[in-house]
Amino acid sequence: MKRNKSINTLLKEDAGNRLMLPYERFTAMGAGSLTDAELLAIIIRTGTSTKTPMEIGNSVLGLCDRTGMGLSGLKHLTIDDMLKIPGIGEVKAVKLLCIAELSDRIARSKARPRLDFKTPRTVADYYMETMCHYQREHVMLVCLNNQGQLICDYEVSVGTVKTASLSPREIFIKALQVNAVQIIILHNHPSGDPAPSNADLEMTEQLRNAGIILGMNLIDHLIIGDHRYYSFLENNVL
Protein backbone atom coordinates (compact mmCIF):
# COMPACT_ATOMS: atom_id res chain seq x y z
CA MET A 1 0.00 0.00 0.00
CA LYS A 2 2.82 2.42 0.84
CA ARG A 3 4.39 1.78 -2.55
CA ASN A 4 1.13 2.51 -4.40
CA LYS A 5 0.51 5.63 -2.30
CA SER A 6 3.99 6.90 -3.09
CA ILE A 7 3.45 6.43 -6.84
CA ASN A 8 0.09 8.19 -6.69
CA THR A 9 1.63 11.08 -4.80
CA LEU A 10 4.35 11.43 -7.40
CA LEU A 11 1.79 11.39 -10.20
CA LYS A 12 -0.22 14.12 -8.49
CA GLU A 13 2.90 16.23 -7.97
CA ASP A 14 3.88 15.78 -11.61
CA ALA A 15 0.41 16.80 -12.77
CA GLY A 16 0.56 19.81 -10.50
CA ASN A 17 3.91 20.84 -11.95
CA ARG A 18 2.53 20.62 -15.47
CA LEU A 19 -0.37 22.89 -14.51
CA MET A 20 1.92 25.56 -13.06
CA LEU A 21 2.31 28.75 -15.04
CA PRO A 22 5.78 29.12 -16.64
CA TYR A 23 6.85 31.88 -14.24
CA GLU A 24 5.79 29.76 -11.26
CA ARG A 25 7.67 26.77 -12.65
CA PHE A 26 10.76 28.94 -13.06
CA THR A 27 10.68 30.16 -9.45
CA ALA A 28 9.92 26.69 -8.10
CA MET A 29 12.18 24.52 -10.27
CA GLY A 30 14.58 26.77 -12.21
CA ALA A 31 14.96 27.68 -15.88
CA GLY A 32 16.26 24.23 -16.80
CA SER A 33 12.86 22.70 -16.06
CA LEU A 34 11.06 24.85 -18.64
CA THR A 35 10.26 23.90 -22.22
CA ASP A 36 11.22 26.20 -25.10
CA ALA A 37 7.61 27.40 -25.31
CA GLU A 38 7.54 28.16 -21.58
CA LEU A 39 10.76 30.16 -21.77
CA LEU A 40 9.32 32.15 -24.66
CA ALA A 41 6.06 32.63 -22.75
CA ILE A 42 7.94 34.27 -19.86
CA ILE A 43 9.70 36.61 -22.28
CA ILE A 44 6.45 37.38 -24.14
CA ARG A 45 4.80 37.93 -20.75
CA THR A 46 1.28 38.96 -21.86
CA GLY A 47 -1.22 37.35 -24.18
CA THR A 48 -4.31 38.56 -25.99
CA SER A 49 -8.02 38.04 -25.49
CA THR A 50 -7.76 34.82 -27.50
CA LYS A 51 -4.13 33.71 -27.04
CA THR A 52 -2.16 32.89 -23.90
CA PRO A 53 1.59 33.64 -23.74
CA MET A 54 2.20 29.87 -24.04
CA GLU A 55 0.15 29.68 -27.25
CA ILE A 56 2.01 32.66 -28.67
CA GLY A 57 5.30 31.01 -27.69
CA ASN A 58 4.27 27.86 -29.56
CA SER A 59 3.45 30.00 -32.60
CA VAL A 60 6.96 31.49 -32.47
CA LEU A 61 8.44 27.98 -32.34
CA GLY A 62 6.29 26.98 -35.31
CA LEU A 63 7.69 29.89 -37.29
CA CYS A 64 11.23 28.88 -36.29
CA ASP A 65 10.57 25.30 -37.41
CA ARG A 66 9.77 26.54 -40.93
CA THR A 67 13.40 27.64 -41.27
CA GLY A 68 14.46 24.02 -40.74
CA MET A 69 16.69 25.08 -37.83
CA GLY A 70 14.39 24.62 -34.85
CA LEU A 71 14.73 27.18 -32.07
CA SER A 72 18.01 28.50 -33.52
CA GLY A 73 15.94 29.71 -36.48
CA LEU A 74 14.84 32.60 -34.24
CA LYS A 75 18.15 34.29 -35.10
CA HIS A 76 17.11 34.47 -38.77
CA LEU A 77 13.59 35.79 -38.41
CA THR A 78 12.87 39.44 -39.16
CA ILE A 79 10.59 41.84 -37.33
CA ASP A 80 8.14 41.50 -40.23
CA ASP A 81 8.17 37.71 -39.78
CA MET A 82 7.42 38.09 -36.10
CA LEU A 83 4.61 40.60 -36.62
CA LYS A 84 2.68 37.98 -38.57
CA ILE A 85 2.13 36.08 -35.30
CA PRO A 86 -1.07 37.14 -33.49
CA GLY A 87 -0.08 38.57 -30.13
CA ILE A 88 3.40 39.70 -31.22
CA GLY A 89 3.82 43.45 -31.59
CA GLU A 90 6.94 45.40 -32.44
CA VAL A 91 8.17 45.60 -28.83
CA LYS A 92 7.90 41.84 -28.29
CA ALA A 93 9.44 41.14 -31.69
CA VAL A 94 12.44 43.36 -30.93
CA LYS A 95 12.83 41.76 -27.49
CA LEU A 96 12.84 38.22 -28.90
CA LEU A 97 15.32 39.08 -31.66
CA CYS A 98 17.61 40.81 -29.15
CA ILE A 99 17.59 37.67 -27.01
CA ALA A 100 18.54 35.61 -30.09
CA GLU A 101 21.44 37.98 -30.74
CA LEU A 102 22.53 37.78 -27.10
CA SER A 103 22.62 33.97 -27.26
CA ASP A 104 24.88 34.22 -30.31
CA ARG A 105 27.22 36.64 -28.53
CA ILE A 106 27.30 34.46 -25.42
CA ALA A 107 28.39 31.49 -27.55
CA ARG A 108 31.16 33.57 -29.12
CA SER A 109 32.31 34.94 -25.75
CA LYS A 110 32.67 31.37 -24.45
CA ALA A 111 34.81 30.44 -27.45
CA ARG A 112 36.92 33.63 -27.30
CA PRO A 113 39.36 32.60 -24.51
CA ARG A 114 40.38 29.54 -26.54
CA LEU A 115 40.74 31.48 -29.79
CA ASP A 116 44.12 30.90 -31.42
CA PHE A 117 44.38 31.94 -35.05
CA LYS A 118 47.04 29.29 -35.67
CA THR A 119 44.61 26.57 -34.56
CA PRO A 120 41.76 26.06 -37.06
CA ARG A 121 39.47 24.34 -34.56
CA THR A 122 39.39 27.38 -32.26
CA VAL A 123 38.76 29.75 -35.19
CA ALA A 124 35.93 27.52 -36.43
CA ASP A 125 34.42 27.34 -32.94
CA TYR A 126 34.49 31.12 -32.61
CA TYR A 127 32.68 31.85 -35.89
CA MET A 128 30.62 28.65 -36.11
CA GLU A 129 27.59 29.65 -34.05
CA THR A 130 26.93 32.62 -36.30
CA MET A 131 27.92 31.28 -39.70
CA CYS A 132 26.48 27.77 -39.58
CA HIS A 133 22.93 29.19 -39.49
CA TYR A 134 23.20 31.45 -42.53
CA GLN A 135 20.85 30.51 -45.35
CA ARG A 136 23.05 32.18 -47.94
CA GLU A 137 26.80 32.05 -48.41
CA HIS A 138 28.70 34.73 -46.48
CA VAL A 139 32.42 35.45 -46.85
CA MET A 140 34.35 36.69 -43.81
CA LEU A 141 37.82 38.22 -43.85
CA VAL A 142 39.92 38.04 -40.66
CA CYS A 143 42.85 40.48 -40.58
CA LEU A 144 45.85 39.84 -38.30
CA ASN A 145 49.02 41.72 -37.43
CA ASN A 146 52.53 40.25 -37.59
CA GLN A 147 52.08 38.75 -34.10
CA GLY A 148 48.99 36.90 -35.28
CA GLN A 149 46.67 39.12 -33.24
CA LEU A 150 43.25 40.18 -34.48
CA ILE A 151 43.02 43.60 -36.09
CA CYS A 152 39.44 43.21 -37.33
CA ASP A 153 37.05 40.86 -39.03
CA TYR A 154 34.94 42.01 -41.93
CA GLU A 155 32.09 40.51 -43.94
CA VAL A 156 33.24 40.77 -47.53
CA SER A 157 30.12 39.58 -49.31
CA VAL A 158 26.78 37.81 -49.09
CA GLY A 159 25.80 35.54 -51.98
CA THR A 160 23.11 33.00 -52.76
CA VAL A 161 22.25 29.59 -51.35
CA LYS A 162 24.95 28.02 -53.54
CA THR A 163 27.63 30.62 -54.09
CA ALA A 164 29.14 33.88 -52.86
CA SER A 165 31.30 36.41 -54.63
CA LEU A 166 34.88 36.12 -53.40
CA SER A 167 36.98 38.84 -55.01
CA PRO A 168 40.74 38.76 -54.27
CA ARG A 169 40.89 42.45 -55.15
CA GLU A 170 38.27 43.44 -52.57
CA ILE A 171 39.82 41.20 -49.92
CA PHE A 172 43.32 42.57 -50.26
CA ILE A 173 42.19 46.20 -50.54
CA LYS A 174 40.49 45.84 -47.16
CA ALA A 175 43.45 43.96 -45.65
CA LEU A 176 45.90 46.62 -46.82
CA GLN A 177 43.71 49.41 -45.45
CA VAL A 178 44.07 48.02 -41.93
CA ASN A 179 47.78 47.13 -42.34
CA ALA A 180 47.16 43.40 -42.03
CA VAL A 181 50.15 41.10 -42.43
CA GLN A 182 48.22 37.82 -42.32
CA ILE A 183 44.65 36.92 -43.24
CA ILE A 184 42.16 34.11 -42.79
CA ILE A 185 39.14 33.62 -45.03
CA LEU A 186 35.93 31.94 -43.86
CA HIS A 187 32.77 31.17 -45.74
CA ASN A 188 29.78 28.97 -45.02
CA HIS A 189 27.98 26.28 -46.99
CA PRO A 190 24.21 26.54 -46.30
CA SER A 191 23.85 22.89 -47.35
CA GLY A 192 25.67 21.97 -44.13
CA ASP A 193 28.43 20.06 -45.96
CA PRO A 194 31.76 21.89 -45.54
CA ALA A 195 33.59 19.91 -48.25
CA PRO A 196 35.28 22.36 -50.67
CA SER A 197 34.04 22.68 -54.23
CA ASN A 198 36.36 23.01 -57.22
CA ALA A 199 35.61 26.74 -57.19
CA ASP A 200 36.66 26.91 -53.52
CA LEU A 201 39.93 25.16 -54.32
CA GLU A 202 40.67 27.45 -57.27
CA MET A 203 39.85 30.63 -55.34
CA THR A 204 42.02 29.56 -52.40
CA GLU A 205 44.95 29.05 -54.76
CA GLN A 206 44.39 32.50 -56.28
CA LEU A 207 44.27 34.12 -52.84
CA ARG A 208 47.43 32.31 -51.73
CA ASN A 209 49.35 33.41 -54.85
CA ALA A 210 48.10 37.00 -54.64
CA GLY A 211 49.09 37.10 -50.97
CA ILE A 212 52.63 35.95 -51.79
CA ILE A 213 53.01 38.80 -54.31
CA LEU A 214 51.70 41.35 -51.79
CA GLY A 215 53.69 39.95 -48.88
CA MET A 216 50.52 38.97 -47.04
CA ASN A 217 50.20 35.40 -45.78
CA LEU A 218 46.93 33.53 -46.25
CA ILE A 219 47.01 31.43 -43.07
CA ASP A 220 43.87 29.42 -43.72
CA HIS A 221 40.57 29.20 -45.55
CA LEU A 222 37.81 27.71 -43.40
CA ILE A 223 34.50 26.45 -44.73
CA ILE A 224 31.74 26.33 -42.12
CA GLY A 225 29.00 23.70 -42.42
CA ASP A 226 26.38 22.38 -40.02
CA HIS A 227 28.53 22.39 -36.84
CA ARG A 228 31.33 21.00 -38.98
CA TYR A 229 34.17 22.72 -40.75
CA TYR A 230 36.84 22.17 -43.35
CA SER A 231 40.27 23.78 -42.94
CA PHE A 232 42.59 24.09 -45.94
CA LEU A 233 45.49 24.35 -43.48
CA GLU A 234 44.58 21.17 -41.58
CA ASN A 235 44.17 19.29 -44.86
CA ASN A 236 47.57 20.50 -46.13
CA VAL A 237 46.05 22.36 -49.07
CA LEU A 238 47.85 25.55 -47.98
* Terminal alpha carbon distance of the chain: 72
Burial class, 157, CB count within 10 angstroms (exposed 0-12 / middle 13-18 / buried 19+): middle
pLDDT-based confidence at 231, cuts 50/70/90? very high
Question: Could you tell me if residue 85 is inside a domain?
Answer: yes
Separation between Cα atoms, residue 194 and residue 228, nearest integer Å: 7
Beta strands 182-188 and 217-224 are: parallel
Cα angle at 228 between 100 and 143, to 5 degrees?
A: 75
Question: Could you tell me if residue 238 is inside a domain?
Answer: no
pTM value?
Answer: 0.62
Separation between Cα atoms, residue 60 and residue 214, nearest integer Å: 50
Question: Could you tell me if residue 237 is inside a domain?
Answer: no
Three-state DSSP class for 163? coil
pLDDT digits (tens, 9 = 90+) for 183-206: 999 999 998 999 999 999 999 999
Residues 99 and 122 grouped into a single domain: no
Residues 166 and 196 grouped into a single domain: yes
Separation between Cα atoms, residue 184 and residue 3, nearest integer Å: 64
- Calculate mean pLDDT across residues 147-151: 90
CATH code assigned at 63: 1.10.150
Query: Residue 62: which domain range?
Result: 35-108
pLDDT digits (tens, 9 = 90+) for 7-54: 455 444 444 444 568 888 888 888 888 899 899 999 998 989 899 999
Beta strands in the chain (DSSP E): 138-144, 150-158, 182-188, 217-224, 229-231
Quick one: which of 186, 188, 184 has its CA closest to 163?
Answer: 188
- Number of structural domains (the chain) is 2
Separation between Cα atoms, residue 183 and residue 221, nearest integer Å: 9
Residues 102 and 191 grouped into a single domain: no
Residues 166 and 120 grouped into a single domain: yes
What is the edge-to-edge ordering of all strands in the sheet holding 182-188? 150-158, 138-144, 182-188, 217-224, 229-231
Which position has the higher pLDDT, 160 or 149?
149
